[in-house]
Amino acid sequence: MDLYKAIIDIINQIPRGMLTSYTQLAEALGDQTVARAIRRVIRDEISWGEAPCHRVIEDQGFIGEDESEKRVRLLKNEGLRIDNSRIRDFERVMFREFNSTKPLQRLRAKQKQLAGKAKLVNSFTEVRTVGGVDVAYKNKEGYGAVATFDYKTRELIEVKKAKTQVKFPYLPTYLTFREFPLIKKLVSKLKELPTILLIDGNGILHPYRAGLATHAGVVLNLPTIGVAKSLLCGKIEKIPSWIGEHPAIRMAGNVIGYALKISKGKPVFISPGSNICFDTALNVVKNLAAESRLPLPLMTAHQNAGNFRRQN
């Protein structure tokens, strides 16, 4: 779905001389928790020519970090009064009556549904090949690469690249709706599907057990492993100190992943996506360790995606 368009459509509903807050806008989209991310999207990715972004401000009527001369001038031209970086009588000019289908609410429901379909058992008897997929960005374009390796010999078999227009901004816990369309396109270009696909993102290590790797595993019916560079949720039993150490990550008392120290640097956070068990997911990533923080297939996909972006 085109969430950029949804955000622009909602902002365009704010009447002249009225305002809304980032929190209220996030609520209109269906998830108040992404208010901070929505502020960044409006600031960095939506032009004022597309929507009256000056009418979206901080909670409690504060203009916020973007108190530019242009914003202040536009607000004053619409009859709004400002005292000490705050809108006077903010509640009186606060607009809440948005006409919205609450798209994030619908996408969250889809995530929960997909989480229920994930299978944490191996759907294969032998690991022959392992692929890695990653996406790099330039403005609103995504540049992706997938690299497949022989699991035993570690020889590179195939690399495919693709690009696409990105219609979904980065929002925490919603990464799948930004990246999966391009991942699906990349996988369809492979001559042969890998036994397992490593994805730069989370599997069940997700507040709703529905990260990008889980989504991809269920929809593509592929064994997938999430390999994330930052911890999205859960609690690590301890910080790993030696290479190969992999303390568990728990959420609500249940193991949802591992913090694996794969190199001298920071750990990566491993979790099964779907069609694979915990032990196999962990061992595959360990066995494909490279000099970098990422396992070999992901490192190669990351390098190819970055080079592809620079060439375009």
Each residue of 277-311: pLDDT tens digit?
999 999 999 999 988 899 999 999 999 999 999 99
Tell me whether residue 155 is exposed, middle or buried, using C-beta atoms within 10 angstroms of its C-beta: 0 to 12, 13 to 18, 19 or more: exposed
| 271 φ/ψ angles, rounded to the nearest 5 degrees | -155, 145
Residue of 127, 134, 169 whose CA lies nearest to 279: 127
**Residue 24, token pair as written in the block:** 């209220």
Catalytic residue IDs: 53
How far apart are alpha carbons 158 and 239 in whole angstroms?
35
**Residue 15, token pair as written in the block:** 């009447």
pLDDT at 66: 60
Domain with CATH 1.10.10.10 in the chain: 3-101
Q: Which CATH class is domain 115-311?
A: alpha beta
What is the amino acid identity at position 49?
Answer: G
Per-residue pLDDT band at 60 (split at 50, 70, 90): confident
Q: What is the tens place of the pLDDT at every residue in 200-220? A: 999 999 999 999 999 999 999
Considering only residues 84 and 267, tell me which one the structure prediction assigns the higher pLDDT. 267
Residue of 37, 211, 1, 46 whose CA lies nearest to 140: 46
Per-residue pLDDT band at 71 (split at 50, 70, 90): confident
How far apart are alpha carbons 8 and 37 in whole angstroms?
15
How far apart are alpha carbons 80 and 73 in whole angstroms?
10
CA distances from 275 to 147, 239, 286 (A): 20, 28, 18
pLDDT at 264: 85
Sign of torsion over alpha carbons 13, 84, 27, 217: positive
In the CATH scheme, what is the code of domain 3-101?
1.10.10.10
| 46 φ/ψ angles, rounded to the nearest 5 degrees | -120, 125
Domain with CATH 3.30.2170.10 in the chain: 115-311
**Residue 305, token pair as written in the block:** 């995606």
Is the pTM of the predicted complex or chain greater than 0.85?
yes
Q: What is the tens place of the pLDDT at every residue in 90-127? A: 999 999 999 999 999 999 999 999 999 999 999 999 99
Contact, 298 vs 284, CB < 8 A? no
pLDDT at 70: 84
Q: What is the tens place of the pLDDT at every residue in 148-197? A: 999 999 999 999 999 999 999 999 999 999 999 999 999 999 999 999 99
Q: What is the DSSP letter of 267?
A: -
pLDDT at 65: 61
Q: What is the DSSP letter of 62?
A: B
How far apart are alpha carbons 26 and 312 in whole angstroms?
33
Q: What is the tens place of the pLDDT at every residue in 226-276? A: 999 999 999 999 999 999 999 999 999 999 999 999 988 899 999 999 999
Residue of 308, 99, 124 whose CA lies nearest to 217: 124
